[in-house]
Amino acid sequence: MTTEVLCVVGARPNFMKIAPLMAAFAARPIAAKLVHTGQHYDPAMSDSFFEQLGIPRPDVNLEVGSSSHAAQTADIMRAFEPVLDVQQPRAVLVVGDVNSTIACALVAAKKNIKVIHVEAGLRSDDRRMPEEINRILTDQLSDLLYTTERTALDNLLREGIAAERVQFVGNVMIDTLRAHLDRAVPAATTLGGKPPRGYAVVTLHRPSNVDSPAILQRLLETLAEVARTLDVVFPIHPRTRAAAERLGLSGLLAAPGMRLLAPLGYLEMLGLMRDATLVITDSGGLQEETTALGVPCITVRENTERPITIAEGTNTLTGPDPEKILACFREILANGGKRGRNPEYWDGQAAVRIAAHLRGWLDAGSA
């Protein structure tokens, strides 16, 4: 059977986005195949997500692994091009904003294959973030752009992208959250008993936070301060652990109340967030997941590409500033933090909407 849509994943946050799409494409049906670039390759960062989320085994694995941004992007491009020659899909579908997203979009566009971007139009307006560059360029290359929130259309129009190419469908990552909430592993299981004081879940991995010794030190000191009141449960990204060790900050990771974990599976992380007092993070995905769960979130970044989590959700931006983080933390302890509401179309049906629209688009001969 010919491939209609060749779907691409590479890094951890891609996996929860592709899972409901592959299921919706199989149901519609749309003839889809899956390429894994291998950007993330550790079992805990990759295989466990395929197992827990029931993602079909990739048809092709490019096995590129880690390197500098340029080398990683180039390796993905070189490895992806011959796959397109063999598969000859009508369109390539990419999700999110990682290096695999832009690399495969660029290869497809140069071969005159239509590009579909899921989670289009998000902007932090901060080009120091590698993901912001990936987002802008991927959207410029895309023929069909599916968005998660309405502000995304304004961003795309500002960059000269025609409104007809843009479809507001909602959030596929929240499809995955809603589909798996019942099966989430309770925090008490992951932690060997629920911490009596309650706990904060922490994730940190952005280069702007973990690659600067001064900023990482201040953040870890702040977490140690939080850990005096609540346990700090910290599933640590390999890059953050390596940075802390390199900078001689491992002592702070062992402060009283700090509970370091290896990267967790999706169902473990979901249960941990659901049962938490709050989340402290610099992740894009966790800002959205906490909004969907109604759990307060402190985002230790100066900006966010997901403004709906601030306007309607439970998210507060503090930057990496200890005073602001601790003030927000005290506020959450005192009154529970922002209540928030569930954003429009974050209802578990985004992938079904995409599959319905995409079937019509393909049938109309658009690709």
Q: Which residues are catalytically annotated?
A: 205
- Tokens 């195949």 locate to 33
The C-alpha atoms of residue 79 and residue 157 are separated, in whole angstroms, by 33
* Token pair listed for 261: 């974990």
Distance from C-alpha of 71 to C-alpha of 201, rounded to nearest angstrom:
33
Angle at 205 between CA 200 and CA 211, to 5 degrees: 125
Quote the least distance from Cβ 12 to ligand UD1, whole Å.
4
| Binding flag, residue 11, ligand UD1 (CB under 6 A) | yes
In the set 238, 294, 319, 322, which binds ligand UD1 (CB under 6 A)? Answer: 238
**Rounded-to-integer distance, Cα 9 and Cα 97, Å:** 11
Considering the rule CB under 6 A, would residue 66 count as an interface residue with ligand UD1? yes
Cα–Cα distance between 92 and 110 in angstroms, integer? 12
The reply to whether 99 sits near ligand UD1 by the rule CB under 6 A is: yes
260 sits near ligand UD1 (criterion: CB under 6 A): no
Among the residue ranges 164-172, 177-185, 237-245, 268-276, the one whose residues contact ligand UD1 (CB under 6 A): 237-245
| CB of 73 or CB of 142, closer to ligand UD1 | 73
Question: Binder to ligand UD1 among 41, 167, 168, 179 (CB under 6 A)?
Answer: 41
Is position 239 an interface residue for ligand UD1 (rule: CB under 6 A)? yes
Name every residue whose Cβ is closer than 8 Å to that of residue 271 and which is 6 or more positions away in sequence: 184, 185, 186, 187, 189, 190
For ligand UD1, the closer CB: 74 or 333: 74
Check the CA dihedral 188-240-217-323 and report its sign.
Answer: negative
* Residue 301 binding ligand UD1, by CB under 6 A: no
Please give the full DSSP string across 279-296, using - where no structure is assigned: EEE--HHHHHHHHHHT--
Task: Tell whether residue 40 is a contact of ligand UD1 (CB under 6 A).
Answer: yes
- Smallest distance, Å, CB 347 to ligand UD1? 24
Q: Based on the shown chain and the rule CB under 6 A, indicate whether residue 63 belongs to the binding site for ligand UD1.
A: no
Q: Give the binding site for ligand UD1 (CB under 6 A).
A: 11-13, 39-42, 45, 66, 98-99, 130-131, 205, 237-239
